Structure 1
Amino acid sequence: MRKADIDVFLKDGDFFLDQYIKQKDKENSLYDDLENSNHEVFYIFTLKLISHWDKSPPCHSCDQIFIKNSTVVYVNESGLYSAIYPVPNSNQHFVFSENADFFSDETAWYKEPTIIFILTLTFSIVFILSVAIYLPLRQLQKQTQTFQQTQRKFGLGKLSERANEQVPEPIKKLSQSFNKMADEIESRVIQSQIFAQAIPHEVRTPLSRIQLVNDLLRIKSQAENTELHDDIDTYIDDINNLTSNIIMLSKLTSMESSFYETHKSNINMSVYLRSRVESLPKNNIRITRDITEDIVLRCDSTMARLVIDNLVKNAIKYTHSHVHISLKEHQEYVEITVEDNGSGIPRCKYKEVFLPFSRLDKSRNSKTGGFGLGLAIASAAAHRSHLAIEIKESTLSGTQFSIIIPTES
């Protein structure tokens, strides 16, 4: 408006004067305020009525520019125009001016109606768009978190867990793919577990018959065949031990098995460790102990026995002459160490020793009487009861296994 030509301003003035004359003295006229108080504001224009005009300017700082068709035009120091029109058939004059308050720079920007409207409209659009984007993203986040929880449970061994397929894309397709994979894995694992548990049971029946036949033959056999019958008994015992260990390992590694569910209780680990060491065969091996007194822990005694017994048996089996067992209490955990002075285990084989049927070198072969299941059972029992087994070189030149048992508050 500030750059409008003065002719445009005068045309606006002519229009407002013409409308005033037409609506004068009518009900509900837009110019009632002008009639009653001789003053009215229409946004960017100010209208006034002057009776008996004395030719004085409409404002103190106004300067007359020119007179056109009996209309006197003024401009003030701010560059705002004013025009005074004679009202036909009356002694009044119609003053048409640009509203100084509307064009004033002193008005704060945040008070301008136009700016307030634009800002309100902008914030409303941004808010609506934010809500429209946030709600689907929030829903997608919840679905993703639920899917991750299902995946985590499945990874921990709960093979019956399945993802919800009644969700929108893209999680729906991901859930369908996961469930298809989970079904295949569960089927194969169940088949493996059935096989691992069924075969040992089926083997025991013919073993019992072999044992019976061997005993009958021993009665009728000559004395020089006694050693041979004893060897057969040894082989039968080895196979029985093997099948028992296979069944135990299968149950330990099955998260669905309730047979080995942990049941924690307070145990005096100092007394418990001594009793376990005393109950195991020593095979003429020197065993030394460094056990701190009266260390009470809350743990599962069955799982602790499987871990301790298998580690001690392993050390006795593969040491040359000496096994050292210690029990020490630290700030946040208790450590049980079992170390021997055997040939040791190569560092690159530390993870491999916990695999079933693992035999690494000449010091760990079938001649020792082992099948490579002891450490696998110890590792599975430790994992099931949330214990940790660490392995490193022993100060006795062999191998050191450490059982880390967290202390509970």
Structure 2
Amino acid sequence: MNSISTTLFTRLYLSISAAILISTILTLVIIESYDYKQEINDFKEDISYIHKGLMSQIQLGAVSADVTLTVSPYFEDRFSAKVVNIPHTDMGCVQCLVLGQAQRASYYETEQGVRYAAIALNGPNTTLIITEKLEVIMDEEFDLNVEEAAFLLLISLCLVIIATLLYWPVRQLQSDIKALVECFANYGRGNHQLRASDSIPKPLNEIALSFNKMADAIEKNVEERSVFAQAIPHEIRTPLSRIQLASGLIKRSSKEVNTIDLADDIDNYIEDINVFINQMMELMKLTDHGQHFSDDTHQLIELEHFIRSRGEQLNLERKHEMFFEVDNTIKISAYPVHLILLMDNLLKNALAYTANKVGVFATEKDGELFVSVEDDGEGIAVADREKVFIPFNRLDKSRNRKTGGLGLGLAIARASAHKIGGSLRVDESRWGGAKFTFSLKL
């Protein structure tokens, strides 16, 4: 957003300025073309008038070839005339621009800007040449240059004024859009009480109003879901406690083995339901964007000791080989509960699906931390790698708790990663199994 080359403000401002500049240039070109044509027409009219005035001298036989004629006083400062013994069709030059031709007259302009006319007379190969004087042309060009400079200065001043007047409304438009974007971003980060200001020009205020309506609806939905989520565990745990109490009484009063075994099964089922409730509560807390943790709750954690202790605690029975390659200099600041939920669920998943071994690797590169948990199990197909993070989604379709659990572990792990400020993805491990990588900007 801060890049000048990509901001809406810059593009819009430059587009308007370019449109004004192009329009001005086109106007100047058209005006200059029109003025030039008008000058040519005036030149031809002057030549026609001078020719008529000179015809009286020519008809009286007062002139001969190669003789300079006297132009009328009105034109004598600007034009000169003479008769030459050359056909008028031969009076052009290689570098001359032909301004026009009539039956007995041709009009030319030299490279120096001098215009002249060659008019055929009645005598054989006799031509009247009427030429603009160079000093007059230079004076006119000087006056014209001064006028053009003044005109260009005026146009430039107008462009500066227009550009300045355009700057502020376009800049304000950019500021309003930026404020809306920041509002949307902060709302997405969990500040659900935030609302966009609708005291901005149309049609941006309509966007703000629509966003505020959407935010109100979402906030209401979140509040209802929060109340529901808090009520459900309480309502479920109350009858579970009664069932557990009844099961305990049955085991104490009964001597039959089958009855005691059945009561033990009931206790196991109750424990499963409690685990489910606890995981659901953990996931809801992690996905509650309104829940924030201050810096006071963060701790500086030595990653190598932390990961090793969590792995050893989860692999107490040593059923699988577990090893660690963690840089012992890495420390991160995080809320410990989130880091525990992240690592425990990744390690539990790896231990559940591995064939023989689980590896944990942690490195820091270019200011970014990478922690990966790898196993040598069957791995996860590319098409299913995002599905594993969906709550209750199970790729093996079985409900065998020994391998699959409840389908909430990886959802909790990703939510924990987001709470810490990082991300979690899944790839193929070096042994062909699954590789879950947590990345975090330090």
TM-score by length of 2: 0.65
Correspondence for 2:279 among 231, 245, 270: 245
- Is residue 179 of structure 2 the alignment partner of residue 152 of structure 1? no
**Structure 1 pair 106–211 and aligned structure 2 pair: CA distance change class (3 A):** same
Per-residue deviation at 1:379?
0.2
Of 162-171 and 277-286, the range deviating more from structure 2? 277-286
Per-residue deviation at 1:381?
0.6
**Structure 1 pair 279–260 and aligned structure 2 pair: CA distance change class (3 A):** farther
Map 1:6-405 to 2 at 5 A.
73=73, 76=76, 78-79=78-79, 104-105=139-140, 107=142, 109-110=144-145, 112=146, 114-224=147-257, 225-258=259-292, 263-292=297-326, 294-300=328-334, 301-362=336-397, 365-366=400-401, 368=403, 370-405=405-440
Q: 1:221-247: per-residue Cα shift (whole Å, max 9, x none)?
A: 224022222211111111111111111
**Structure 1 pair 364–109 and aligned structure 2 pair: CA distance change class (3 A):** farther
Greater share of helix residues, 1 or 2? 2
Gaps of 5+ in 1: 9-61, 67-72, 81-99
Q: 1:193-241: per-residue Cα shift (whole Å, max 9, x none)?
A: 3322321122222222222222122211224022222211111111111
SS in structure 1 of the partner of residue 142 of structure 2: coil
**Structure 1 pair 280–119 and aligned structure 2 pair: CA distance change class (3 A):** same
Provide the rounded CA distance (Å) in 2 between the counterparts of 1:369 and 1:64: 116
Of 224-233 and 170-179, the range deviating more from structure 2? 224-233
Per-residue deviation at 1:115?
3.2
1:159, 1:186 within 8 Å by CA — same for their partners in 2?
Answer: yes
Per-residue deviation at 1:170?
0.8
Per-residue deviation at 1:291?
2.5
Provide the rounded CA distance (Å) in 2 between the counterparts of 1:299 and 1:237: 34
**Structure 1 pair 371–202 and aligned structure 2 pair: CA distance change class (3 A):** same
Q: Report the residue type matching 1:380 in the other structure.
A: A
Per-residue deviation at 1:259?
5.6
**Structure 1 pair 254–261 and aligned structure 2 pair: CA distance change class (3 A):** farther
Provide the rounded CA distance (Å) in 2 between the counterparts of 1:373 and 1:262: 29
Per-residue deviation at 1:65?
5.0
Per-residue deviation at 1:361?
1.0
Q: Report the residue type matching 2:79 in the other structure.
A: G
Q: Report the residue type matching 1:335 in the other structure.
A: F
2:354, 2:375 within 8 Å by CA — same for their partners in 1?
Answer: yes
Q: 1:28-60: per-residue Cα shift (whole Å, max 9, x none)?
A: xxxxxxxxxxxxxxxxxxxxxxxxxxxxxxxxx
Per-residue deviation at 1:336?
2.6
SS in structure 1 of the partner of residue 215 of structure 2: helix
Q: Report the residue type matching 1:232 in the other structure.
A: I
2:355, 2:376 within 8 Å by CA — same for their partners in 1?
Answer: yes
Q: Report the residue type matching 1:295 in the other structure.
A: T
**Structure 1 pair 246–215 and aligned structure 2 pair: CA distance change class (3 A):** same
Q: Report the residue type matching 1:347 in the other structure.
A: V
Provide the rounded CA distance (Å) in 2 between the counterparts of 1:279 and 1:154: 39
1:63, 1:76 within 8 Å by CA — same for their partners in 2?
Answer: no
**Structure 1 pair 363–339 and aligned structure 2 pair: CA distance change class (3 A):** farther
SS in structure 2 of the partner of residue 104 of structure 1: helix
**Structure 1 pair 374–75 and aligned structure 2 pair: CA distance change class (3 A):** closer
Gaps of 5+ in 2: 1-38, 50-67, 81-134
Of 272-281 and 370-379, the range deviating more from structure 2? 272-281
Per-residue deviation at 1:262?
8.4
**Structure 1 pair 292–345 and aligned structure 2 pair: CA distance change class (3 A):** closer
SS in structure 1 of the partner of residue 377 of structure 2: coil
Per-residue deviation at 1:353?
0.6
SS in structure 1 of the partner of residue 248 of structure 2: helix
Provide the rounded CA distance (Å) in 2 between the counterparts of 1:108 and 1:359: 89
Give % identity: 35
2:308, 2:324 within 8 Å by CA — same for their partners in 1?
Answer: no
TM-score by length of 1: 0.70
**Structure 1 pair 262–376 and aligned structure 2 pair: CA distance change class (3 A):** farther
Aligned residues: 330
